[in-house]
DNA sequence: TGTCATAATGTTACCGGTAACATATTGAGG
DNA sequence: CCTCAATATGTTACCGGTAACATTATGACA
């Protein structure tokens, strides 16, 4: 039943030549006689021969594969922000003739598999995303001398790997300034629990703008998920705080905020304006559609991947912490009032 | 700079024993003297030794890894439906001590990588999801005798691999009957372009209910994405067709439909009721929240994985095409009118 | 104390490729 | 027709583990 996979030896034997010639026909065809090359090619085809990757890698070949570490959240195996980054990176890696492989940063088994792969040279480097690094993981990367770059967070704490991120501070300046511009006087900020540079930076931008405009700040902390947004607005409503603008840490949170506001007397954007951060594809699909600060995930990850390839190649990259500029994207949730037909 | 990874030989040499004893200490500790075992364990720890996976696999060990093939769509690297399946499968595989690895069915490189992995015994089997199989892929699976099961589609066309899916026909009966029950008289069906058994089955259920109730059917075909839902309603509006209920092929499409309806005079659920299919996590978060037919992705994928492990173990599974029952989930889009505070 | 089953360890060969070096073949130019 | 460089092919060793078989150490019991 099981078709045994042919080996290079069988191919060689069938042709009455040495397996080295076959190997060369595959990897350095120019070093093989034209006639032999043809015969080899044909019989490899016939027998559906494929060299075993493991044998190749064991013999010292590069695997040309990059691993991505991503931490799922409650609703997404690959949260939209990372998804965009992966798309960008994959597209770029394809041009460099690299494959990509995604690992689940929340699963012990997956983490272990990754370390095994690296250890076996099945993976040449890693891209770890904002939120996906914990101590175990980064320690493993370090101990195994695995080239790695981080995307989405401004620094990687105690681990000195290069980081590529949006400029969160100026991004939040843009967002909150926009809210002020469209007339908000009581702006609330919903951000995440815990300690992340991005939480900190975006809060800082928020505080800055509010101070400059003599407005009273109010920060709510929930999970960075749709549910977190729902919960955030819920807390606001219950606390009786009056507000006419919400700056959410992420589009997911903003989505939750919109969702919760929908079932109240407060209309968006008439009574409350909501703005998010990231510009994930779904931001277009919320009701009303979501204004946000756009991170250029594609560009960021493209850059990150380029850097990673350089490190793998042995070069030290110059810039260790790179910040990309952001764009304000205005949609219905802060300005345009949808026209009802 | 580069810390060379220690090999089993180095460990053995350092202890003055044969590497076989070290290998045994790792894989069959009970066959090694207590004292030796301790010494080996300690020095492995000290030197941070990890056996190379490739060497192991080449020597014939199982890799205990399952590959998942998933076809991204425009908005999601892993569409929500598959995401839920992956979660369910991964949880279950974890118990069986298997790792999971996700491959992108739309990327040639990723497909090639998968085939290489299988060919090298780095992967023991595959779960291919509805929509992810194309000819190239399934041919590769077949040619390499890779155990595979399909999840989400009622049959895999010309390829005879076991399939696990929802019972699409009875599921759609439930959905459309519900629309009738809540008073809809002009029910439209938005489904996908092309030829998939699930398209067909759900359409059939739709026709069945409409015929039984003497209603006029109307089928619109667009992409199975949020955008497709938007486009579908757009077409309806432009064509001047009157409708008071929409049965969408998937929750994503239904989401798009809701989105498009939001900016019209037609209110959901007062004027138009909308129902989807799948019950992805996001269905709770649309505005209004989405009624749908729930597929039990967790159970389905758990079952699929069990079957796959059996096939890998050499057993032929009895049931080749298994259908799981569905549940109607009623939310705001078909019944409850949200209370405005 | 000698014997023999059992536990502990060692030896050999192999998994399937590739690099480095060695040898054989070809053919152009004298 | 011979020589020598270039081209084509072959040989050997190694990557880092594991299974199967071989050998040696241990110790319970007669």
| Beta bridge partner(s), residue A222 | A192
Task: Give chain B's end-to-end CA distance (angstroms, integer).
Answer: 65
Contacts of A316 in chain B (CB under 8 A): none
Measured to protein CB atoms, the chain C nucleotides within 7 Å are: 7-12, 14-20
The whole-model pTM stands at: 0.91
**CB pairs < 8 Å spanning A and B:** 155
Q: How far is it, in rounded angstroms, from Cα B181 to Cα A45?
A: 60
Q: What is the pLDDT along chain A (341 residues), one digit of tens a residue?
A: 445 789 999 999 999 999 999 999 999 999 999 999 999 999 999 999 999 999 999 999 999 999 999 999 988 999 999 999 999 999 999 999 999 999 999 999 999 999 999 999 999 999 998 766 677 777 777 777 788 999 998 876 666 789 999 999 999 999 999 999 999 999 999 999 988 899 999 999 999 999 999 999 999 999 999 999 999 999 999 999 999 999 999 999 999 999 999 989 999 999 999 999 999 999 999 999 999 999 999 999 999 999 999 998 887 776 688 999 999 999 999 974 444 44
CA distance A78 to chain B (A): 7
Kindly state whether A281 is in contact with chain B, defined as any CB-CB distance less than 8 angstroms: yes
Query: Which residue has 């195996």 as its token pair?
Result: A77
Task: Give chain A's end-to-end CA distance (angstroms, integer).
Answer: 65
Contacts of B58 in chain A (CB under 8 A): 52, 54-55, 58
Kindly state whether B57 is in contact with chain A, defined as any CB-CB distance less than 8 angstroms: yes
Q: How far is it, in rounded angstroms, from Cα A53 to Cα B113?
A: 9
Residue A188 in contact with residue A245, Cβ under 8 Å? Answer: yes
Question: Which element (helix H / strand E) includes B69?
Answer: strand B65-70
Tokens at B27, concatenated: 């894989």
Residue A127 in contact with residue A149, Cβ under 8 Å? Answer: yes
What contacts 24+ positions apart, CB below 8 Å, involve B39-46? B39/B15, B40/B11, B40/B15, B43/B11, B43/B14, B43/B15, B44/B11
| Beta bridge partner(s), residue A323 | A165
φ/ψ (deg, to 5) at B59: -80, 0
Nearest to B78 among A50, A78, A265 (CB): A78
Query: Which residue has 């070949």 as its token pair?
Result: A61
Question: Which element (helix H / strand E) includes B182?
Answer: none
Contacts of B65 in chain A (CB under 8 A): 113
Measured to protein CB atoms, the chain D nucleotides within 7 Å are: 7-12, 14-20
Contacts of A8 in chain B (CB under 8 A): none
Q: How far is it, in rounded angstroms, from Cα B283 to Cα B3?
A: 49
Kindly state whether B341 is in contact with chain A, defined as any CB-CB distance less than 8 angstroms: yes
Residue of A nearest to B102 (CA): A102
Q: How far is it, in rounded angstroms, from Cα A329 to Cα A113?
A: 40
Cβ <8 Å between B55 and A1: no
Q: How far is it, in rounded angstroms, from Cα A169 to Cα A152?
A: 13
Cβ <8 Å between B263 and A83: no
DSSP structural state of residue B137: H
């Amino acid at each position: 039943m099981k078709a045994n996979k042919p080996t290079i030896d069988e191919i060689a034997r069938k042709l009455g030549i040495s397996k080295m010639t076959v190997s060369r026909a595959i990897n350095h065809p120019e070093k093989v006689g034209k006639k032999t090359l043809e015969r080899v090619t044909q019989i490899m085809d016939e027998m559906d021969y494929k060299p075993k990757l493991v044998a190749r890698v064991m013999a010292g070949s590069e695997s040309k594969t990059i691993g991505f570490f991503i931490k799922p959240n409650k609703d997404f195996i690959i949260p939209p922000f990372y998804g965009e980054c992966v798309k960008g990176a994959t597209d770029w890696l394809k041009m460099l003739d690299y494959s990509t492989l995604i690992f689940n940063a929340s699963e012990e088994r997956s983490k272990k598999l990754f370390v095994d792969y690296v250890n076996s040279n099945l993976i040449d480097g890693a891209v770890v995303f904002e939120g996906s690094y914990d101590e175990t993981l980064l320690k493993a990367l370090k101990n195994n001398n695995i080239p790695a770059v981080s995307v989405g967070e401004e620094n990687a704490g105690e681990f000195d790997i290069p980081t590529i991120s949006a400029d969160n501070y100026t991004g939040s300046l843009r967002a909150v300034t926009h809210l002020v511009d469209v007339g908000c006087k009581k702006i609330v900020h919903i951000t995440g629990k815990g300690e992340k540079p991005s939480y900190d930076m975006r809060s800082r931008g928020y505080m800055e703008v509010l101070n400059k405009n003599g407005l009273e700040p109010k920060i709510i902390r929930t999970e960075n998920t749709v549910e977190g947004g729902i919960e955030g607005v819920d807390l606001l409503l219950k606390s009786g705080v009056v507000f006419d603008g919400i700056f959410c840490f992420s589009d997911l949170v903003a989505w939750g905020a919109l969702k919760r506001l929908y079932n109240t007397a407060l209309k968006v954007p008439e009574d409350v304006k909501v703005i998010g951060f990231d510009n994930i594809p779904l931001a277009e699909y919320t009701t009303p559609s979501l204004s946000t600060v756009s991170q250029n995930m594609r560009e960021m990850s493209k850059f990150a991947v380029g850097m990673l390839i350089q490190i793998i190649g042995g070069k030290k990259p110059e810039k260790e912490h790179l910040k990309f500029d952001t764009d304000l994207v205005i949609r219905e949730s802060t300005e345009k009032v949808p026209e009802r037909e």
